[in-house]
Amino acid sequence: MLTMLKALRLEAGLTVRALGGEIGIHPSLISQFENRRLYCREAHQKTLSEFYGAPVEGIFENGFARPCEEVAHCL
């Protein structure tokens, strides 16, 4: 399942590892957030939201990455 969080990263041309290095969140956490396997704490939601310049509500719903159909529909 594609999520808004992953779509934003792909659109930015970043790997999970590169994004983690940019924002100081371990790549495995980012991957788990992107795949809706782990609840994303508010602090991480804020960090990701600020990095992408998108509102938290557009990326997350109830602490999990918001699902979307395909990258073109997400952005």
Quote the crossing angle between the two packed helices 42-52 and 27-34, to the nearest 10°: 90
Predicted confidence band of residue 71 (pLDDT cuts 50, 70, 90): low
Number of domains into which the chain is organized: 1
What local confidence, expressed as pLDDT, does residue 1 receive? 80
Residues 11 and 71: beta-carbon distance below 8 Å: yes
What local confidence, expressed as pLDDT, does residue 70 receive? 57
Q: How far is Cα 35 from Cα 62, in angstroms, rounded to an integer?
A: 14
Q: How far is Cα 53 from Cα 48, in angstroms, rounded to an integer?
A: 8
What local confidence, expressed as pLDDT, does residue 68 receive? 87
Q: What is the CATH number of the domain that holds 56?
A: 1.10.260.40
Q: What are the pLDDT digits (tens) for 2-11?
A: 999 999 999 9
Domain that holds residue 26: 4-74
Amino acid (one-letter) located at 5: L
Residue 36 to residues 19, 64, 67: CA-CA distances in angstroms? 17, 6, 9
